[in-house]
Structure 1
Amino acid sequence: MAKFVIFAVDPRSETVMRLHYDNMDSSLTNLQGHSLVQMMDPSIQTILPVAPVTSKDTPLGKSSPRILKISLGLSCNYACEYCSQRFVARNDETNPEDVADFMDSLDNWVLSPPEAIEFWGGEPLVYIKTMRPLAEALRKKYPQARFSVITNGSLLNADLNQWLDDLGFAVSVSHDGPGQHVRGPDPLADPPTRNAILDLYQRLAPQGRFSFNAMLNRSNQSRSAIQAFFTELTGDPKVMIGEGGFVDAYDVGGEALSLRSGEFHSFRRQSFKDIRQGKSDRIASVRDRMMSFVNSIRFNRPASSLGQKCGMDKSDSIAVDLKGNVLTCQNVSALSTAPNGESHRIGNVRDLTSVALRTSTHWSKREGCPKCPVLHICKGACMFLEGPLWEKSCDNAYSDALPIFTAGIEFLTGLIPVHIEGEFRTDRKDIFGLSDQPVTPQAIKAKPFPIPVVSV
């Protein structure tokens, strides 16, 4: 028997149909058990490995990194309202003298060239005196590695832009578009900084090496407005927007900007409308998660292959500081403690075989995740949050993923889900706020469907 029964509207006739969806084997069938989608040719499918199930009791080890994330420190020249690092304990600051020892250590634990090296802060450009010699040494040692950095953009200038371009960096500027005033200071309000950001955009965007990274919150809910903002800013109808998901509640700031109980349905309607009308098609969290979810059904991707959304539960994804401390992720420090009581310092590169990730909780170890219809899109929210902040983050993530789930099923079947039945939270079953009465064709007509159902 299928795990979920989905009541879906045929937009051409407004009749209601029932679909069966199983989040464990990614099957989408009709009542007779026949698949509703054209499956991929089995000859091109590959057997997906089982993802590691990490927890405090079953810690994950680390190996030579494919993805290397270097934390330069958590200092920042801004103080954004929902920053995940705002209340994280700070280490001693790194400095240029740390670079030589770090570089000398690499051959002992980096056994093959990393595919990607990411430079993180705080605001990483606060550490430019350390970042310059470090990046130049790493580029010389690993000439093929992809370099990336995320910055608030406030410290960019012509000289720095040239350096970032010469070293082959991909750069993301964190900015929430029309909602930036809620997040914190706006670098675009300063003309020289605005010019520097746009100069870097013109340098890197044609090569696919630039994005604006925006986040949603309860005061900045419209992806279409965000996309329109950056299109107007750059004059580029193909501007790419990284991230674009709803904020996690890492602290009281993130909690205050989380959705409240009376806002879930209106946010989902807005988000689905933006997706359906093609007004959020250049936002990574929509485009990439939609493609992944659709392909999970076309390939019958098993839930056992799902890791955490951030990817830091993979053995070859490593976050380190310049002292060699291995961290849960780049947003914490060696002095900070996870909500489960374990240190975010999970080891040191001098003894990589002893590193143990005890701060993560795999989605399968949480009560609600295995029973959730949007599991393949959400992937368990933040892997180290616990308690009320995780629950608030879960609420945000569910409402964020549900319009993508709905749009993906419409893409595959032509039918628009409006209600989901299954063994999960009752308050999450009504997708758009329609089903305060039984979902029937008569009920749909009595309470007009809030999303345009004509072809777009």
Structure 2
Amino acid sequence: MALFKIHALRSDGQKVSLHYDNQSSSLTWQDGESVVEAKPGSFRDAAAVAVDQPGRKGVIRTLKVSLGLSCNYECSYCSQRFVPHAESSNPDDIEPFVAQLTDALIEPPERIEFWGGEPFVYWKTLKPLAERLRQLYPQASFLIITNGSLLDAEKNEWLDRMGFGVGLSHDGPGYHARGADPLDDPEKRAAIMDLYARLHPQGRISVNAMLHADNRSRAHVQAWLQERFGQDVRIGEGSFIDPYDDGGLASTFQTPADHIGFRATAYKELRLGTAASFSIGQQKIMDFVQSIRTARPASALGQKCGMDKADNIAVDLHGNVLTCQNVSAAATAPNGQSHGIGHLSNLQAVKMRTATHWSKRKDCASCPVLQLCKGSCMFLDGKLWDAGCDAAYSDNVPFLAAAIEYLTGCIPFYIEGDFREDRKDIFGQVHGVPDAPKTRVIPIQPVAA
């Protein structure tokens, strides 16, 4: 049992304490009274995927199709930057792939995602492939993630007609980490804005932004994107990057003061509502609230990406089943296992040995943000995992604080428990951190209820 004593401030400045159990999702006042009356839900234990307990695939709900890892940009923190490329796909691969897919799937998928690299690099394959899959699975939702730099009138009309949902990758003022901003090119900007105008009224497009060490304020990102896309822009993604290589490491926080400053800023922005266009805020806060209301056990938690689930699958056009869409069958995971985990022709034999469930990690079970973080990236290891874990903690603890304030009206500032000392003082207000920003625990203007 992981039990934490959370020290918090009431609006009148009085200190109170709460007890939180991340394993049973119990949140009580110091006298033992529950903060909310829980109505326990019905939960199944998640599969604890690991080398010695490989993950399997079954009835597929979400199908992620990797067209290849080629891209016309070179983002400094890209998860695919140094991944070895497998054999390229081309239009001749479509019919053999479709034949294998239809033989393998027991039921029609509910969701089909098309991934690169940059998927529009593969336009000559993407177009006939998506049209073929739309014929086969007319009820499936379609999603594509693009940097938008290769869009034009033809592609925009096609995306609209095919019923795609689109995630436009853009980090706002932090775009320099990705390369030249397509919004600075008049022709590319016009194409992006044309697609946005087509899909935004239907709620079928979001601008997906990532945070990193040089792009650490959601409020700044939101203001930048609102200036260009309008006040009602929907911002997807929104979490801090996972470091997949040295470029990613360089884009994470390097000092305790960086972590403290980010946590304080993120929490203040949540309370002021200056990052409300990011869907991640409401999603994280309400997911935690629901974990308390339903007494969700930690044993029910899979990994944050969901690719450890039996009903989620990533494949390339050669039929290779992959750990996820960000790797190739030619790549090896940090634990030495191949990212090619099986083949569509024998789905029953697929074994995911590349992942490590959070319950197999040293510190996850005793972490107060477990119910929000859900184990970070499932295949990172070593220094990359350590840096990713640090970033994930600082990213999620402001959501934890905001959720507890939502439930209790009290603002957490210090967490006691059997976990790392450097993480207990949430905003650096109790013991202080050298050179930490002098941010108040209670931001000046709370969000109206």
TM range (shorter): over 0.9
User: Aligned residue for 1:451?
Assistant: 442
Q: 1:30 corresponds to which residue?
A: 29
Deviation of 1:229 after TM superposition, in Å, equals 1.3
Q: How many angstroms apart in 2 are the aligned matches of 1:182 and 1:322?
A: 30
- The separation in 2 between residues aligned to 1:153 and 1:448, in whole angstroms, is 38
The whole-number CA distance in structure 2 between the counterparts of 1:389 and 1:284 is 27
Aligned twin of 1:4 = 4
| Equivalent residue letter for 1:174 | S
**What is the 5 A alignment of 1:218-367?**
218-235=213-230, 237-261=231-255, 262-367=257-362
Spell out structure 1 runs of 4+ moving beyond 4 A: none
Alpha carbons 2:68, 2:316 under 8 Å: kept: yes
CA shift at 1:184, angstroms?
Answer: 2.1
Contact 1:6 1:418 in 2 (8 A): yes
Tell me the distance in 2 between the aligned counterparts of 1:38 and 1:449: 32
Contact 2:41 2:295 in 1 (8 A): no
Q: Is the 8 A contact 1:81 1:183 kept in 2?
A: yes
Structure 2, gaps ≥5 residues long: 433-437
Aligned to 2:149: 154
Q: CA deviation at 1:287?
A: 2.0
Does 1:91 find its partner at 2:82? no
Q: Give a deviation string over 1:186-205, Cα, whole Å, max 9, x none.
A: 11110111111111111111
Measured in 2, the distance between the counterparts of 1:372 and 1:108 equals: 43
Q: Contact 2:405/2:411 (CA < 8 Å) preserved in 1?
A: yes
Q: Determine the C-alpha separation between the residues in 2 that align with 1:279 and 1:158.
A: 34
TM-score normalized by structure 1? 0.95
1:208, CA displacement in angstroms? 1.2
One-letter amino acid matched to 1:306? L
Instruction: Describe the SS at the equivalent of 2:17.
Output: strand
- Distance in 1 of aligned mates of 2:29 and 2:385: 35
Whole-Å separation in 1 of the counterparts to 2:58 and 2:302? 17
User: Superposition pairs for residues 174-253 of structure 1, below 5 Å?
Assistant: 174-235=169-230, 237-253=231-247
For 1:252, give the aligned amino acid: D
Match of 2:16 in 1: 17
Q: What's the CA shift string for 1:234-273, capped at 9, x where partnerless?
A: 12x2211110000111001110010122201110111001
Q: 1:312 to 1:146 in 2, by over 3 A?
A: same
**Secondary structure at the counterpart of residue 28 of structure 1:** strand
Q: Alignment partner of 1:402: what SS?
A: helix
* Rounded Cα–Cα distance in structure 2 between residues aligned with 1:327 and 1:179: 30
CA distance in 1, matches of 2:363, 2:146: 35
| AA at the equivalent of 1:18 | S
Q: Which string of whole-angstrom CA distances, capped at 9 and with x for unpartnered residues, describes residues 138-159 of structure 1?
A: 0010000000000010000111
| C-alpha spacing 1:388/1:448, structure 2 compared with 1 (3 Å) | closer
Residue type at the aligned position of 2:236: G
Distance 1:370 1:250 in 2: 23
Match of 2:135 in 1: 140
Deviation at 1:162, TM superposition (A): 0.1
CA distance in 1: counterparts of 2:284 and 2:69, whole angstroms: 29
Aligned length: 441
Equivalent-residue separation in structure 2 for 1:394 and 1:164 (angstroms): 37
* Shift, 1:227, TM fit: 1.0
Q: Secondary structure at the match of 1:118?
A: strand
- Report what 1:164 is aligned to: 159
Once superposed, what is the RMSD of the aligned Cα atoms? 1.3
Partner secondary structure for residue 435 of structure 1: coil
